[in-house]
Structure 1
Amino acid sequence: MRVKYKINGIVQGVGFRPTVYKIAKKLNLKGYVLNSSDGVIIEIEGENKDKFLDELKKNLPPLARIDSIESEILDFVGFKDFVIKESQNTQKTTSISPDIAVCDDCLKEMYDKNDRRYLYPFINCTNCGPRYTIIENIPYDRKNTSMKKFKMCKFCEIEYNDPLNRRYHAQPISCYDCGPKLDVKRKDDSGKWKSLNFDDEIHKIKYIAKKIKEGKNVAIKGLGGFHLVCDATNEEAVGNLRERKRRPSKPFAMMFKNLDMIKDYCDITDKDVALITSKEKPIVLVKKKKDLKGIADKIDRYGVFLPYTPLHYLLFDFLDFPIVATSANISDEPIIRDSDELIEKLSNVIDYILDNDRDIVNACDDSVVQAVGDEYITMRCARGYAPLMENDKSENEKSYGKLNILAVGANQKNTISLAFKDKFILSPHIGDLGTLGSIEYFQRTIETFRRLYEFEEDVIICDKHPYYESTKWALSQDKKIFQVQHHYAHALATMFEHNLKGEYLCFIFDGTGYGDDGTIWGGEVFIANRNDYKRIHHIKPFKLIGGEKAVKNPANMAVALIDEELAKNYPNYKIAKALNNASFPLTSSMGRMFDMVAFLSGMIEKNEWEGISGLLIEKYYNPEINEKIELKIEKEIDFRPVLNFAAANRGEFERVSSVFINTLVDLIEKIAKIYDLPVIVGGGVFQNKTLLTLVNKRLNPYFNKKIPINDGGVSVGQAAWGIWNLK
């Protein structure tokens, strides 16, 4: 008899078929393996066919992941050999692998003087290199990528067609003779950008390294877009980049040559090391040890990462200091992926460009993660992790087999999610939908995923906020629309990641979200399940004085809430009290509570960038201070005692921060004891490592890890609602 397998997951472009080929040969099996848009199809005959699956599972390629295996017993046909067949096109449901950092095998070859790819800046194999960023369509074959314009030389073609070679069907395969080339550009005296001529690739890299040493700002093309780069230890260069980019204080991420260099500047835990050195090579938020002026002033964290492309490694052969490596974009817009746009938008920011002619089809920013004890949370799911595909874990007859669901997420940290057949896909980070460029990128990402999966949605699920760009886009489509409350979507995202059923006590704390009563929610306690939720507690609503401007300027909002005698100590006292009688939207936002505590205590005058209040409160938290404020647990929880405490202890940053965090943890724990339900925590406030760590120790709650805990996870919750409630 013959056995046919259909295997789904991350099984294309990762060396899966060669592995199957080797195992079949080893077991003397006959048949074939092929890529289809439905997964990998395998048919085998032979005495050892019962051993095949065990051998496959034990020998999976590093980047492969099996999500499902379907088997079928068929009649014997008498195959003569085992072969790898050409790809077939069927309905597109297979996973697209994220881009992966260059592997150790390729690095070893790159530094081998006898290897034909010695110092080659685009070296890759089936275990590493670009995937999502170069793909135009699936199956993941070269003709469907931006590598199609590079005709393979005879040596690359031999490797590409050899099932026993590490580069068998590695679609970005190339070498000096047939692959992409670097291009150094500089601006001449007339303001025109021109390419410079060099003898070889390594001299181009050496030249750019020299300019970085000289304090210049350069743009370097990576896997998913350009980085803006300068010497992180050169205060003048960093200040110049900030001034030109008009980014006065928001922290810059830094790339380091190796782990030892990171340890020179940072205190890192074992979990930090595991994240930093993982195959995804994300940006990891870690504790400062040595201060670098202008990188992340005022806070005690750095965002650090290691080289992840061959080019990065070659660049650091000429540098012995960390570099700023921040996304090349105009603030709040998507990362720039081609040099024409770079020159158009950032010509006045940069002095030199290190470009290449391998087109980036799909932009993809760097991922950002943070260790929380032995766990971690994702703040930006992008390069290395996304597109993130999951199989439906529900047991309700493949619940969304009949509906194609498109969930379009929130307005900040936007992502989209797709659900179809028994598949779920989360897009890479799109960003804040506050500019025309970001809205265009949002729409382009939807079109990309429609094309890649031949997907046409039956329903669109969006947020309830009428002014979210994602909501406005959804309501403009001629489709069936469902709207899911923002904070409930956060809870659902956690339920989806952990496959939770039943009722949960959900603490969802963030900055903003449209409430069912038309006010702005953000400090919410729900009892929720997959189908419904009940709002049982929330912060007592207060006026968002100034509307959206209050997010950056919490002064009037804060002073209006505190006791009269304390308020008189602030110069804006009279205007704040007067404005409190005006008509402003009401909010229950925990994010704004953090802002007001930071302002009243004197840590900030205004929010210079999103998240600074929380990071400052975290910086000044002292675990030796056990003091807390006993808040009265009612449906509407009054936080004015906390604000009064912050104002009364202005200047005592450690005490205010510690009492505030301790009060929050105590409140969460006491509410949890009342309801005696398993706990979920979510929303952007729980990016606060100190808060999450303390709550985790006390209550062991469920929270999102690989799915963003902030608004980047909202589309997941929306899609989950559709999966569980639309039949």
Structure 2
Amino acid sequence: MSAAGTCDRTRLRVRVSGAVQGVGFRPYVYGLATRYGLAGFVINGPEGVIIEVEGCRASEFVATLPLEAPPLARIDHICVRETVALAAKDFSIGTSEGGRLSTQIIADAAVCPQCLGELFDPEDRHYLYPFISCCHCGPRYTIAERLPYDRANTVMSAFSLCAACAADYADPASRRFHAEAIACPTCGPRLSHGISAIVAAIAGGQIVAIKGLGGYQLLCDARNQDAVQRLRRRKRRLHKPFAVLVASKERVSEVAEANASELALLESVARPIVLLPSRNNLAPAIAPGLSRVGVMLPVVPLHHLIFHGLRATGARVGSGPVIVATSANLCGEPLLIDNAQALRHLKGIADLVVTHDRDILTRADDSVVSVVAGRPQFIRRARGYVPEPIRLARSVPPVLAVGGALKSTVTITRDNQAFVSQHIGDLNTAEGIRAFEKTIRHLTSSLDVEPILIAHDLHPDMASTRFAEENARALVAVQHHHAHAAAVIAEHGHEGPAIALVLDGHGFGADGGNWGGELLLCEGTRSRRIGHLAPLQMPGGDRAAREPWRMASAVLHGLGRGNEIGQRFAAQRQAGCVSALLDQPDGPTTTSAGRLFDAAAALLGIANLQSYEGEAAMKLEALARRTAVLETGWTIDGGVLSLRPLFSRLIADDIDAPGGAGLFHGTFAAACVDWVMRSARTTGVNTVVLSGGCFLNAVLAHEIPRACSAAGLTPLVPRRLPPNDGGLSLGQAWIAALQIVQQSGARAGSA
């Protein structure tokens, strides 16, 4: 303050980066500036939000800025510099700036409590309106075409605001001030069918398709066995589990057991599907042969309206409404997002198809998460989490990584961030490949990035590899299991060497073989195979991955008991000729951990065939209620881990399926820890990376890290991405980016 009692006016230019567009950040800044009596402006810019404030309390404004940010905002960095005072009189929200983008769109968010209250308030103009939203909730990533996140750059540009919505949009005191997705019954999107028709169909045992946030969903009564079985037949999904939707957190206990961490995850704004121990009181066809069920709380207003309608009409669906909620697509095809395609393709699946006129630009399946050792573990990362970036340990050049063939994702790096796409699915159909290519185009465009290189899997015959070869002059091939390990290393920002235990289903090895249970020594861009599971024959090649009895036959043959194959698997037509295949000296072999689970499941009579990936292993896990360790159940010789003694015990007459499942899990986990500890002593490396699809198994994911920690090792496990192939693209991107950095450094050093 000056002697005359006036203050020295200061004008500050503030740049805020992070998830700060589309979350009510500009209205928040407006309100904060007004509170401190400041003049200036706030705008969306290519690097986030740009603010100029002028007045006596400008420094207080900057200090408060990160403390009271909106719930969906994430501030990564605040840059402040002093600029020339302009003697401005007021504060305003200005037009967005152009330029190279370095900000991001945020993930879609479930309906917030305030909107939910208005949804069921007869006095509110949004009463029972299925597209209610505000700055704190609603669609974001799935409706945005490009940045900056302004209404003109989203599908909402097709809907002109009515007078009431325009007033909310312009009112700094409103929760909808500059909320780009706002609408009301007067001016917004509309459903093709009313809530009463949807409710009547579900209560009547019919199958309903609705257009959700990231694509169409199929709904039916989860307590109606006939309805669930019809859905399975029509969707051609014989046994793969369905997720269920319950009305509220209080209703979860009716269908599953959930602890505080799991309930918090269910209620988070991302609203993922959470795997929970089932109470087995739903239709048996929901999750046949499994002990866990995927549970989700309502995501969009329409979900809440459906439950409200079921209660209001007195429809009794069991002890409380529980609804199957599964992706609306044929098995193996991408999630449907287009109205015309949905009406055409779902005609033979759904009895009622409910569309609306708000387009979905980017498909996003429901995310699937479990809680292991008190922390979330992704099984599928998509809606609610994408495109939240993963922060890297250093800035790297822009690269594109295209993942694998199954559970596909792609990754783009920008500075010190890696943007991993939503789960795309399998690339074994033309539609799947088109969805993959569209995801790449959207991600590169929305991030304003031009990759200088494409990283891909070492396998020469993947659709993703072919895409890379056809679309880039600079390529880097990354071995499958090295990519699994590198994804975890990148996520944790680990520097220095690490032992990687990768337990997986299949990956093309550096020697051209079929790998899948690997011990790698990783450092920088390099990895060296220092151990692997004992090779096991695969009678029938890839067919053995779909028919676990074949892997069990290979185990029997290896134990010198091949004469038992025909008797044990008499129901399999080709059981008689498998022995001849196993006698061939040059047949295909694998070191896959996944195939060991298959073999154990078949030997214990749990699953001889599987209709979806991992079915046998999941059913085996479901029976492993108590684990035990056969102390003599494995051998390690020259870095090769063999479970031959364990399998000899599993085929004994006095062991039942639950006991065998528990013994397999406990012994395999203990064997892996022994394997890792020996390698740590040999190499002197104490950091252990744990990854690969088998770490979706809750027993392995809990026991192996716990035992490693108890042995004085430092385990690194996937947290931000799934351990399965959904994380491959991040590992590929990290390895490729580091290679560019190293090559640039080498050139600079030789200049």
TM-score by length of structure 1 reads 0.94
Report the CA distance between 1:242 and its aligned residue.
1.1
Instruction: Quote the offset at 1:550 in angstroms.
Output: 1.3
**Structure 2 counterpart of 1:528, which letter?**
C
Q: Which residue pairs with 1:721 in the alignment?
A: 735
Paired amino acid for 1:709: P
Partner of 1:712: 726
Q: What SS does structure 1 have at the residue aligned with 2:440?
A: helix
CA spacing shift, 1:607–1:650, aligned 2, 3 Å: farther
1:99, 1:130 within 8 Å by CA — same for their partners in 2? yes
Aligned to 2:540: 546
Aligned-pair Cα RMSD in Å: 1.7
Alignment partner of 2:337: what SS? coil
Shift of residue 458, structure 1, vs aligned partner: 0.8
SS in 2 for 1:421: strand
Partner of 2:120: 111
User: Which residue of the other structure, out of 481, 484, 487, is the alignment partner of 1:490?
Assistant: 484
Q: How big is the shift at 1:54?
A: 2.7
- State the Cα distance separating 1:649 from its structure 2 match: 4.8
Matching residue's letter, 2:728 = V
Describe the SS at the equivalent of 1:656.
helix
Find 1:437's aligned residue among 431, 447, 470: 431
Q: Give the match's secondary structure for 1:254.
A: strand
Q: Which residue of 1 aligns with 2:357?
A: 357
The 5 Å alignment of 1:92-131 reads 92-131=101-140
1:391 CA displacement: 3.7
Are 1:339 and 2:353 matched, yes or no? no
Give the Å deviation of 1:97: 0.7
Instruction: Give SS of 2:720's match.
Output: coil
Shift, 1:456, TM fit = 1.9
Structure 2: gaps spanning 5 or more residues: 1-9, 311-319, 710-714, 742-751
TM-superposed deviation, 1:247: 1.3
Within 2, Cα distance between the matches of 1:307 and 1:352? 20
Give the AA of the match of 1:672.
V
Q: CA deviation at 1:172?
A: 1.1
Find the residue that maps to 1:330 and give its secondary structure.
coil
How much has 1:52 moved relative to structure 2? 2.5
Judged with a 3 Å threshold, the aligned counterparts in structure 2 of structure 1 residues 531 and 624 are, in CA distance, closer, same or farther, namely closer
SS at match of 1:522: strand
How far off its partner does 1:474 sit? 0.5
Matched, 1:212 2:202: yes
| Alpha-carbon distance between aligned partners in 1 of 2:653 and 2:403, rounded to the nearest angstrom | 40
Partner of 2:602 in structure 1?
Answer: 599
Distance in 2, matches of 1:93 and 1:301, equals: 41
| Distance of 1:461 and 1:431 partners within structure 2 | 19
Amino acid at match of 1:565: R
Larger deviation, residues 299-308 vs 612-621: 612-621
Residues 28-427 of structure 1: pairs in structure 2 closer than 5 A: 28-184=37-193, 204-292=194-282, 293-319=284-310, 320-394=320-394, 398=395, 400=396, 403-427=397-421
The amino acid across from 1:620 in the alignment is L
- SS of the equivalent of 1:511 reads strand
Extract structure 1 runs of 4+ deviating beyond 4 A: none
Tell me the secondary structure at the aligned position of residue 182 of structure 1. Answer: coil
**May I ask how many residue pairs the two structures share in their alignment?**
702
Alpha carbons 1:566, 1:648 under 8 Å: kept: no
One-letter identity of the residue aligned with 2:305: L
Would you say the 8 A contact 2:536–2:554 is kept in 1?
Answer: no
1:198 aligned residue: none
- Any conservation in 2 of the 1:150–1:178 contact (CA below 8 Å)? yes
State which of 637, 640, 643 in structure 2 corresponds to 1:639. 643
Identity of aligned residues (%): 37
Q: Does 1:665 align with 2:669?
A: yes
Instruction: Determine if the alignment matches structure 1 residue 653 to structure 2 residue 644.
Output: no
Equivalent residue, structure 1, for 2:704: 695
The answer as to 2:505 corresponding to 1:514 is no
Instruction: Note if contact 1:539-1:589 (Cα within 8 Å) is conserved in structure 2.
Output: yes
Contact conserved, 1:407 with 1:461, CA < 8 A, in 2? yes
Deviates more, 1:123-132 or 1:573-582: 573-582
Moved more, 293-302 or 607-616: 607-616
1:579 is matched with 581
The answer to whether residue 527 in structure 2 is matched with residue 533 in structure 1 is: yes
C-alpha contact (below 8 Å) 1:9/1:94 kept by paired residues: yes
User: Offset of 1:638 from its aligned partner?
Assistant: 2.0
Are 1:565 and 2:561 counterparts? Answer: yes
Secondary structure of 1:276's counterpart equals helix
Aligned mates of 2:67, 2:386 — CA distance in 1: 25
- Please state how far the C-alpha of 1:40 moved relative to its aligned partner: 0.9
1:479 and 2:473 equivalent?
Answer: yes
State the TM-score, normalized to the length of structure 2: 0.91
The 2-side partners of 1:77 and 1:424 are apart by: 40
Amino acid at match of 1:713: G
Whether the 8 Å contact between 1:495 and 1:530 is mirrored in structure 2 is no
Task: Measure how far apart 1:683 and its partner are.
Answer: 0.8
Deviates more, 1:148-157 or 1:37-46: 37-46
Q: Counterpart amino acid of 1:164?
A: A
2 CA distance for matches of 1:465 and 1:11?
Answer: 40
| CA distance in structure 2 between the aligned counterparts of 1:153 and 1:468, rounded to whole angstroms | 50
| SS of 1:413 mapped into structure 2 | coil
Task: Output the CA distance in 2 between the equivalents of 1:236 and 1:625.
Answer: 39
Once the two structures are superposed, residues 196-252 of structure 1 have per-residue CA deviations (whole angstroms, 9 ceiling, x without a partner) of xxxxxxxx1012111111111110111111111111111111111111111111111
